[in-house]
Structure 1
């Protein structure tokens, strides 16, 4: 992936959240069959660049983070029939309700898309995504690949090195994988 120019992390976090909001709005306004994840994401990237919030390179990179996070959540919900809150593995009371609703709305649309692909005979066997320091992620719990320490995210934020061992790579914690 492209390395983003070092700017304040909140600049990219804000853009991530704004792009998620554009995607949610697009899904809410469109007929279900008229809006795909990629179409909504392309619209969000275009708007973020058009209003000058981010460069096209930053919009692309943030779009990759959003796709990773949403696909991870949607695949988990589809495979396990579990609720989104289980995937997050965080206390719902401490998570900003607006961020939760936003992420859930987009992930649910993606789950529907993935189910349609499976019905068409596509095999969806993706390895667990790797989350790296410096990237932006949505809410949930990441686990250090090296030492196994949990790193909870209550809202969208920049991923930093593990506080225990300084490792830079993480995977998403799933319920039952403690």
Structure 2
């Protein structure tokens, strides 16, 4: 990552992921008072607004919104298939992650549950995570060697520490608890 990709010592796109998720949540709350929210449309509006404000380039905004949509779809698919709690999808105890991020993500996931069911099928096509992309907290499994990478907060996905692989899947929790 070049110095131009950093902002005050932090990754610009990681900050943008959290900001876009937060702003999407704020827009969903506003939209609920008027009509049933549509997550994809709202995310697109937030993305476009961040571009208009010059906070992100069009390419950066598209990447970040794709990352958020992928994570929401992945969470929706997990919840639809297992009926388990969103905390199980995260695969971390609440103490290990930033409470505000879990709260924000959970609110967006809860508020968009109708749309999430429709996205479950398309989530299968977008289930691979790639090194360099940004994702929220969780455990990713290397598609090449099966090694686990644990992310305790939003950040860029590193290459596999064991084999250098660059493709991952989010680890499904074992039945019976959130390990």
Short-chain TM bin: 0.7 to 0.9
Correspondence for 2:102: 100
* Partner Cα distance (2:5, 2:112) in 1: 30
Secondary structure of the 2:88 match is: helix
TM-score normalised by structure 2 residue count: 0.85
Secondary structure of the 1:176 match is: coil
Aligned residues between the structures: 168
Structure 1 runs of 4+ aligned residues shifted over 4 Å read none
* Partner Cα distance (1:20, 1:84) in 2: 16
1:78 to partner: Cα distance: 1.9
Secondary structure of the 1:34 match is: coil
Asked whether the 8 Å contact 1:71–1:110 carries over to 2, the reply is no
RMSD: 2.2
1:24 to partner: Cα distance: 0.6
Correspondence for 1:160: 158
* Partner Cα distance (1:40, 1:103) in 2: 15
TM-score normalised by structure 1 residue count: 0.85
User: What runs of 5+ residues in structure 2 fail to find an aligned partner?
Assistant: none
Asked whether the 8 Å contact 2:74–2:123 carries over to 1, the reply is no
Correspondence for 2:43: 41
Residues 82-161 of structure 1: pairs in structure 2 closer than 5 A: 82-115=84-117, 117=118, 124=121, 126-127=123-124, 129-161=127-159
* Partner Cα distance (1:58, 1:98) in 2: 24
User: What runs of 5+ residues in structure 1 fail to find an aligned partner?
Assistant: 1-5
Correspondence for 2:68: 66
Correspondence for 1:3: none
Change (3 A) 1:66 1:164: same
Asked whether the 8 Å contact 1:133–1:158 carries over to 2, the reply is yes
Asked whether the 8 Å contact 2:73–2:123 carries over to 1, the reply is no
* Partner Cα distance (2:123, 2:108) in 1: 20
Asked whether the 8 Å contact 1:74–1:110 carries over to 2, the reply is no
